[in-house]
Amino acid sequence: MSTQLELFSTHRIQVAGLALQHRLPSLSGEPGVAAAGSLIFHGPDVMETCRRAAYFVDRIFKGASPANLPLEQPTKVEMIINLKTAKALGLTIPPSLLLRADQVIDQ
């Protein structure tokens, strides 16, 4: 399983390009892939996740035991829609979904 994840992670931009070339809508778990041709990114806010990771690293450096630190779930989820890809695939994205998106790529 991890080999498949590594393959998709390493070649995410090529995968998005191939999906678009073969007229297949694709969903991405990484924000940059939406700009590369994926139809939608939906996942945790990457910057907020990095901030929280830094907070925990700081706590550990200050002597906290990792075993005593709480597990956290992301609290903010982002959605990026690539309208250029939608148009290339002949798809119409409902206005209600576009209004909920954090970012819409149209170029």
Residue 94, domain member (yes or no): yes
Number of folded domains that form the chain: 1
pLDDT mean across residues, the chain: 88
The pTM score is 0.76
Decide: 82 and 38 in contact? Cβ < 8 Å. Answer: yes
| Domain range enclosing 96 | 2-45+77-105
pLDDT tens, position by position, 5-52: 566 667 777 888 888 889 989 888 888 888 888 899 999 988 899 999
Residue 12, domain member (yes or no): yes
From its phi and psi, is residue 37 left (phi > 0), alpha (psi between -120 and 50) or beta? left
Q: How far apart are the first and last CA of the chain?
A: 35
From its phi and psi, is residue 69 left (phi > 0), alpha (psi between -120 and 50) or beta? beta
What CATH number does residue 11 fall under? Answer: 3.40.50.2300
Residue 39, domain member (yes or no): yes
Residue 33, domain member (yes or no): yes
